[in-house]
Structure 1
Amino acid sequence: MTLAPSPHFISPNSISLNSPSLTSGRTPVDTRRRRRWQGRVLVGAGLALLPWMGYLAGTLPPAQAAAWVALDALEAACLCAAGAPLLRGEPVRRGAALGAAVLLVVDACVDVATAGAGVELVQAVGMAVGVELPLAGLCGGLARSGR
């Protein structure tokens, strides 16, 4: 009497060492979907900075406006440069992701350090904790992984 192989048995020869089931537990479809989502977040954040730069340019004194608009323009460029390849299913541009991470951390620190007391400080901390630092973490993770 011969026993038929169980459908749940996986032969050691049927899995390669770089198989998603051994490395991350994610299938290639899950990884592609996650990368596209990350690309949308990065490009969306970069594009969201465009009207914000217009607001800053129109409301701040000229010297301050130039500095903040320049910083936000660099952030927007790095975010879009890091996110666009992910939308196309290509590997992330590690330099752009790292640049965005550094710029976002600097932006968060300077915002909090220069905020006045009261509502302005609460808004700066809220933006840092809720937007800038999480985006910096995503960009840093992408720069580190390079995928």
Structure 2
Amino acid sequence: MTIYRIQRIHDLEELDLTQLLLASRQEGFRMLDRLIDDFRNGHNGFNHPGECLLGVFDTSGNLVGIGGLNQDPYSLGLPLGRLRRFYILPACRRQGIGRRLANALLLEAKRTFLTVVLRTYTIQGAQFYESLGFTPYDTSTTSHIIRFNETSSDSS
């Protein structure tokens, strides 16, 4: 059984994203291209209050998954988080890695936000997020939402 570690990413330029980029493109996703472009041009550095970018690394230090948490740009000033740029290498799926990464992001979210939203375009993605407690919420920018109880603690 491979052991994975989750850690905060401060600078994408220090990482080899090749495997993730190629795999995501083969699946028809462009979210990691957007992640890199937005990071490089300063549009999204995951550096505002409550935001973070986390990576999942195998024992050899290879990046096998990534996911971020932003202040929701559509929230009109409300304290709303958005889960974004979430991707796990296909060969590493169904091992609990995505669940661990999503839970780490939600734990971070609870420190700042009462609600987190996301947009997924696949049935598998919807099923995954619903298994984490998200509920469908169909708007032009959001497919799923999770609301935290105000008395939630970081121990979940």
Scaled to the shorter chain, the TM-score interval is 0.3 to 0.5
TM-score by length of 2: 0.31
- Larger fraction in strand: 2
**Max radius of gyration: which structure?**
1
- Larger fraction in helix: 1
